[in-house]
Every structure is written in C-alpha cells, then in structure tokens.
Amino acid sequence: MSQEDVLAGLAAIVNEVAGIPAESVQMEKSFVDDLDVDSLSMVEVVMACEDKFGVTIPDTEVKNLNTVADAVNYITANK
C-alpha cells in the first residue's frame, strides 16, 4: 500500500470519526491544532486505523502522532 493510499484511507477515517472533510486531511496538518481532532477522537482514529491497515498502534505511540504525516509514516513503516 502506497503512502497516498494510506493518506486516503486515513482521511476517510478522520472524516467518519470527526466529521472533518477528507480533503482537509493533508500531510502537514496537525490533528489537534489544524483539524480540531480532540484526544478521544484521536483514540477512535487510531482504533479505526488498526482495523483498516492491520497495524498495532500502542497507547505509548499515540501521543507521538501529532501530524497527519506522523500517522501516515507510522502506518506505512509498521504495517
């Protein structure tokens, strides 16, 4: 799965969980500051990513996922 595919899949999840337009979910965006994804929605995004991409994202890793790029890179590297 390419980075573009992961980004598209993540954008769909963020849209589903937090109601944010998928096209706003771009690599440089911060989940909290730019996309207004709060800490609980972030947990839902992480859980949906685990289901969709078959990765494991431990609690200790969630706090390091600040930007969309952080999440896409983590998923790409660990799936």
Partner 1 sequence: MINLPTADLHTHSGITGLGAYRPERVVSNDELASRIDSSDQWIRERTGIIERRFATAEEDVVTMGTHAGLEAIRDAKIDPSEIDVVIVATFTHKYQTPSASAEIAHLVGAVNASAFDLGAACAGFTYGIGVSDGLIRSGNAKNILLVGSEKISDFTDFDDRGTAFLFADGAGAAVISATDVQGIGPTVWGADGSSRDAIIMAPDSIAAGLQGVPSMLTMQGQQVFRWAVGSMGEICERALSAANITADDLVAFVPHQANLRITDALIKRLHLPDSVVIARDVTTSGNTSSASIPLALDTLRKSGSVRSGDPVLMIGFGAGLAFAAQVALVP
List contacts with partner 1 (CB under 8 A).
Answer: 38-40, 42-44, 46-47, 59, 62
Q: Which is nearer to partner 1, 4 or 59 (CB)?
A: 59
In 3D, which of 38, 28, 39 has the Cα closest to residue 69?
28
**Which residues contact residue 11 at a Cβ distance below 8 angstroms, ignoring those fewer than 6 apart?**
22, 23, 25
Q: Which is nearer to partner 1, 22 or 43 (CB)?
A: 43
Here the tokens at position 32 are 């909290």
Minimum CB separation of residue 76 from partner 1 in Å reads 22
Q: Which is nearer to partner 1, 7 or 46 (CB)?
A: 46
What amino acid is encoded at 78 in this protein? N
